Chains A and B, each alone.
Chain A
Amino acid sequence: MLRQLMRLLTSLWRPFGGRGGDAAGGGGGGDGVAGREGRDGLLWYRDLGRCAGGEFSMAVVQANQVLEDQSQIESGPFGTFVGVYDGHGGSDAARYVCDHLFSRFRGGLPTPPLVNSTLLLGVTSDGIRRAFLATEESFITLVSQLWNTQPDIATTGCCCLVGVICQRTLYVANLGDSRVVLGKKVGNTGEIAAISLSSEHNANVEAVRQELKAQHPNDPEIVVLKHGVWRIKGIIQVSRSIGDAYMKYAQYNREPINSKFRIPEPMNMPILTANPSITTHHLQPSDSFLIFASDGLWEHLSDQKAVEIVHSHPRAGSAKRLIKAALHEAARKREMRYSDLKRIDKKVRRHFHDDVTVIVIFLNHELMVKGSTQGPQLSVRSALDH
């Protein structure tokens, strides 16, 4: 009887929970776990959901006038596909990548396998690279079509971070300055270690500056320190992206694009490229969770701090918790309270923090080994705007 009373009280507390159906969830009846979805001003969150590799938690906060971050989680027979797309100069490139990258990746996979093994599932580094290059090519085609009517599309770009969990292998493809961090349990101590699995293509990294100088030996101003950060030609920080046609093709670096994007010298070769860095990681039983996030999070939280926050709290709401911790830190840096930061409108918020997207994937190794063909089909995509 007590149990029935508790059940009644719980259902009163959460009248819409427990059924797992929500607007963003979409895919099938496989998602049986109550994924609480909500919105808190400019912050959107999905506390917990189930995917092929385990469980996920997702959250996005908007700072720009138009949300320039997009993200998606796709779950299918191949495993789990996680994408975080951090746009800049506008939202066109990020939306385009979110619409097309996964379909190009899935199109490159062979037909559903008869035997459950990684080789037959068809996920390879080359397949992911081809998907990136095909998306870049089609976006540039779109830019050329819209050049006369919408020339601003030539100055938009997108940093892409993709993670594919296929059986017990994790493929990470990075293009830009987003980052994925693995939370790994340390022996029997109960502590958690943070391991960064991607390398960033940002001019503030010394290695990237050296690489650019080697590629452009005749250009002394290939990287310029401006406003305290290194920028390529004094304009953009990232060295690889999808889009940014004005940095890749000379025909788009002329009138009528905005003068702040114009480069005085003629361009002999593309300054930016769309070739992703792809790494493969074999997942161990001690690998607990993955944090995929755009640079807005890592600007305020260190890797270790982020994994400790996820490790020391319940799974549900991890992504929202990380974003709130980052916003607390951003408010502290600006000598104000977090509660006051929430009262600032978008666009003005950009002076305090950037758009932040966080996806936390909690790894379930038994589920991965069992085979993802029986796993839930899932397709979650962040909203276009908040």
Chain B
Amino acid sequence: MCERSLFSASLGHQSTPLAVTMKRCRGGFRLGRRLVRIWRRVFRLEGGYHLRPGPAPSSAISNARRRIESSVVATRLFDWGRSLSRRLRLRRRGEDRAPLLEEDAWGLPPKGHLAVYVGGGQPRRYVVPVIYFNHPLFGELLREAEEEFGFHHPGGITIPCPAAEFERVRTRIAAAGCRPAGRAAADSYHSKAAFFTLSPLHFWCCYYHINFMYNIKNIISVPPNFDNLYIYL
């Protein structure tokens, strides 16, 4: 990625501790701890500007160091965002497992989905888009469920067919392009994932851009007439 090489040139290609942590950490995506770590790093930088009282440092060397440190954080954020989107792409293939946007505190599946129990004996739990229920193929499965259990069985919808048959029907419905119109359930789920990926990146990019432009005044001498111009850059 060209942005990365730009940063690497200024850094002398340091391996980012955050990226290493991401690689090491398997089978669990602890959002909270990473955000705290990033926030702490940011505050350490920010402390140099705002939290410590006294005059703002004016030396070019300390400014350059701050620019380097801010670019390190930006790199780490970029890595985190990319790995998150990679994980979501992989997760999309395994739809029957609980999605990355986990069930909420009430144990409900994500919006646009519901839980279906398939098979006799120990039924297996699947999370299926609601829109599948309106498909004729799914209607056949539901007819079998009605004959077996009636309409008023307790708990979630239970279908007595074998799991293989259910998965075959589900694949056929998905292949037929059974997507809800307009703001689709599955699409909204993925767009929400994209939102989580891009939005902090956008925020921090804007933040550092503003910070950079604020401090550029101290690095280069801005003519008095253009004093307010930097705001618009």
Q: Cβ of B84 < 8 Å from any Cβ of A?
A: no
B115 — nearest CB in chain A belongs to which residue?
A: A335
Q: Cβ of B39 < 8 Å from any Cβ of A?
A: no
Q: Cβ of B169 < 8 Å from any Cβ of A?
A: no
Given A351-B145, A351-B151, A336 and B134 contact (CB-CB distance below 8 Å) = no
Partner of A337, one of B111, B145, B152: B111
Establish whether residues A343 and B157, one from each chain, have CB atoms under 8 Å apart when the complex forms: no
Provide the residues of chain B in CB contact with A335, threshold 8 Å.
107-109, 114-115, 155-156
A321 to chain B, nearest CB (A): 22
- Within 222-275 of A, Cβ neighbours of B (below 8 Å) are at 226-229
Partner of A344, one of B130, B155, B185: B130
Establish whether residues A345 and B134, one from each chain, have CB atoms under 8 Å apart when the complex forms: yes
Interface size range on A against B: 20 to 34
CA distance A344 to B109 in the complex (A): 16
Partner of A334, one of B111, B131, B157, B180: B157
Q: Cβ of A350 < 8 Å from any Cβ of B?
A: yes
Establish whether residues B152 and A229, one from each chain, have CB atoms under 8 Å apart when the complex forms: yes
Instruction: Please count how many residues in chain B sit with their CB below 8 Å of the partner chain's CB atoms.
Output: 27
A276 to chain B, nearest CB (A): 25
Establish whether residues B113 and A333, one from each chain, have CB atoms under 8 Å apart when the complex forms: no
Provide the residues of chain A in CB contact with B146, threshold 8 Å.
350-351
CA distance A350 to B150 in the complex (A): 10
Provide the residues of chain B in CB contact with A340, threshold 8 Å.
111-114, 130, 185
Q: Cβ of B89 < 8 Å from any Cβ of A?
A: no
B204 to chain A, nearest CB (A): 33
Q: Cβ of B139 < 8 Å from any Cβ of A?
A: yes
Establish whether residues A336 and B142, one from each chain, have CB atoms under 8 Å apart when the complex forms: no
Question: 1/0 per position for B171-184, CB-CB distance to A under 8 A?
Answer: 00000000010000
Establish whether residues B150 and A228, one from each chain, have CB atoms under 8 Å apart when the complex forms: yes
- Within 88-115 of B, Cβ neighbours of A (below 8 Å) are at 107-109, 111-115
Q: Cβ of A218 < 8 Å from any Cβ of B?
A: no
CA distance A339 to B183 in the complex (A): 13
Establish whether residues B152 and A336, one from each chain, have CB atoms under 8 Å apart when the complex forms: no
Partner of B114, one of A226, A227, A334: A334
Establish whether residues B150 and A227, one from each chain, have CB atoms under 8 Å apart when the complex forms: yes
- Within 175-213 of B, Cβ neighbours of A (below 8 Å) are at 180, 185
Given A335-B156, A351-B146, A343 and B111 contact (CB-CB distance below 8 Å) = no
Establish whether residues A336 and B155, one from each chain, have CB atoms under 8 Å apart when the complex forms: no
Provide the residues of chain B in CB contact with A345, threshold 8 Å.
133-134
Establish whether residues B153 and A228, one from each chain, have CB atoms under 8 Å apart when the complex forms: yes
Q: Cβ of B154 < 8 Å from any Cβ of A?
A: yes
A326 to chain B, nearest CB (A): 14
Question: Knowing that A335-B107, A351-B146 are A-B contacts, what are 4 other residue pairs whose CB atoms are under 8 Å apart, sorted by A's residue number?
Answer: A339-B111, A345-B133, A348-B134, A354-B151
| B contact set with A: CB distance below 8 Å | 107-109, 111-115, 130-131, 133-134, 139, 142, 145-146, 149-157, 180, 185
Instruction: Show 5 residue pairs from A and B whose CB-CB distance is below 8 angstroms, ordered by the A residue.
Output: A334-B115, A335-B115, A336-B108, A340-B112, A340-B130
